[in-house]
């Protein structure tokens, strides 16, 4: 593949009919459609996720993000005015203090109190960065338990309905184990334990990493010159065992298949030759042109126009081919975004 040209934010836009934005998950996770892309031949074909094993090779290693989404959205009122307010929890800071986003932002003044239920109140302490605040909860009961009951699953804003009971488990991967994300690593939503077992029977293994997905996954980029954009840091963890598994797969000639852009960002942020556990934060923003070091193939959903995720996919497969694939997906009425369909991108990755 030839090097990708430098592109502007305008080049990361496409037209998407609203009806193609998936509002509900399919009854079976593996029934999602799969667009299989060969970047070397610049071709693509329609398939289904349950047939993923037909498109991978023995020796390939899937790397999955095992972060777990927590109930992060709270709706309440300002105690002094009764005006509606929405809180989006980001990180537990301990001692009933949280990092959070507040909507509307004008309500987030130091000393303001928000009431969410008879048993749950919080106070705005201070603004710590653009649009991010520290707040402190007050309650006579167990605040962690009250939050689990009062908060909602943080569905993306393009899902135009309130969370339902099914979202508690469907907006969560079947292998989620480390709580800390406010958005699901959506490429992983297509997997079931049976599918992973089926893949292993063909010699396609898997291992896990963790990146706690933040709210910027929903946000459009602001600056037309791509390199002027910045992403908020997100916490990651990868064990020494996972690192060793990845190295062994690569030594044996297998491909490293990143399941999702979040996994890709971790793998491109670290040194695979490290012999110990790795934990830290990454704010890596991948956009064309970019040379991938550690990822050979990518499974990913269809992403929002003008998003950092679309920029990563463009860098991975080439902009023109990506736009052809997205045009095909629109024409064939694929389902888009979090509860939508997926792509498998493989072939001549830009390295």
Residue 337 has pLDDT above 60, yes or no: yes
What digits encode the pLDDT tens for the residues 145-157?
Answer: 999 889 999 999 9
Could you give the number of structural domains in the chain?
2
Q: Is the same domain home to 81 and 65?
A: no
Last residue of a domain, one of 122, 150, 178: 150
Q: Is the same domain home to 87 and 233?
A: no
The average pLDDT across 25-32 equals 98
3-state secondary structure of 152: strand
pLDDT of residue 350: 61
Model confidence band, residue 351 (pLDDT cutoffs 50, 70, 90): low
Q: Is the same domain home to 180 and 240?
A: yes
Q: Is the same domain home to 190 and 284?
A: yes
Residue 124 has pLDDT above 70, yes or no: yes
Q: Is the same domain home to 113 and 251?
A: no
Place of tokens 């709580």: 179
pLDDT of residue 2: 44
Cα 174 from Cα 259, distance rounded (Å): 14
Q: Is the same domain home to 116 and 138?
A: yes
The average pLDDT across 190-208 equals 98
Q: Is the same domain home to 86 and 209?
A: no
DSSP codes joined into one string, 207-275: EEEEE---GGGGSBP--SBGGG-----EEEEE-HHHHHHHHHHHHTT--EEEESHHHHHHHTTS-TT--
pLDDT of residue 1: 43
For residue 1, being part of any structural domain is answered with: no
What digits encode the pLDDT tens for the residues 75-90?
Answer: 999 988 999 999 999 9
For residue 320, being part of any structural domain is answered with: yes
Model confidence band, residue 327 (pLDDT cutoffs 50, 70, 90): very high
For residue 277, being part of any structural domain is answered with: yes
3-state secondary structure of 191: coil
Here the tokens at position 172 are: 């969560």
Q: Is the same domain home to 261 and 331?
A: yes
Q: Is the same domain home to 277 and 200?
A: yes
pLDDT of residue 131: 82
Kindly report the CATH number assigned to the domain that includes residue 97. Answer: 2.40.10.240
Kindly report the CATH number assigned to the domain that includes residue 293. Answer: 3.40.1780.10
Residue 251: domain span: 9-69+167-346
Counting residues of the chain whose pLDDT is more than 70, the rounded percentage is 98
For residue 351, being part of any structural domain is answered with: no
What digits encode the pLDDT tens for the residues 34-70?
Answer: 999 999 999 999 999 999 999 999 999 999 999 999 9
Residue 141 has pLDDT above 90, yes or no: no
Q: How many other CB atoms sit within 10 Å of the CB of residue 278?
A: 18
Q: Is the same domain home to 61 and 87?
A: no
Q: Is the same domain home to 41 and 80?
A: no
The average pLDDT across 314-330 equals 97
For residue 160, being part of any structural domain is answered with: no
Cα 219 from Cα 231, distance rounded (Å): 10
Q: Is the same domain home to 180 and 142?
A: no
pLDDT of residue 80: 85
């Amino acid at each position: 593949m030839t090097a990708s040209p430098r592109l502007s934010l305008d080049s990361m836009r496409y037209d998407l009919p609203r009806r193609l934005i998936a509002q509900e998950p399919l009854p079976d996770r593996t029934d999602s459609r799969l667009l299989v892309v060969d970047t070397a031949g610049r071709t693509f074909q329609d398939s289904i996720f349950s047939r993923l094993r037909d498109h991978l090779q023995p020796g390939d290693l899937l790397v999955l993000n095992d972060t777990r989404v927590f109930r992060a959205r709270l709706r309440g009122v300002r105690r002094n005015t009764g005006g509606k307010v929405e809180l989006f929890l980001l990180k537990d800071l301990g001692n009933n203090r949280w990092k959070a986003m507040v909507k509307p932002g004008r309500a987030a003044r130091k000393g303001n109190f928000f009431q969410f239920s008879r048993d749950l109140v919080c106070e705005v302490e201070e603004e710590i960065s653009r649009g991010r605040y520290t707040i402190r909860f007050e309650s006579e009961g167990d605040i962690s338990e009250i939050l689990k009951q009062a908060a909602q699953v943080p569905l993306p804003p393009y899902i135009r309905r309130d969370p339902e009971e099914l979202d508690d488990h469907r907006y969560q991967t079947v292998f989620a184990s480390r709580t800390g994300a406010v958005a699901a690593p959506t490429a992983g939503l297509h997997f079931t334990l049976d599918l992973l077992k089926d893949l292993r029977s063909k010699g396609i293994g898997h291992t896990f990493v963790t990146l706690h997905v933040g709210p910027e996954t929903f946000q459009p980029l602001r600056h037309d010159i791509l390199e002027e954009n910045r992403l908020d840091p997100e916490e990651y963890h990868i064990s020494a065992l996972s690192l060793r598994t990845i190295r062994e797969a690569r030594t044996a000639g297998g491909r490293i298949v990143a399941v999702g852009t979040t996994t890709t960002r971790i793998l491109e942020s670290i040194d695979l030759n490290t012999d110990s556990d790795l934990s830290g934060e990454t704010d890596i923003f991948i956009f064309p042109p970019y040379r991938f070091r550690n990822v050979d193939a990518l499974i990913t959903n269809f992403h929002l126009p003008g998003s950092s995720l679309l920029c990563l996919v463009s860098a991975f497969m080439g902009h023109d081919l990506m736009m052809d694939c997205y045009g095909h997906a629109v024409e064939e009425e694929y389902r888009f975004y979090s509860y939508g369909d997926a792509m498998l991108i493989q072939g001549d990755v830009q390295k």
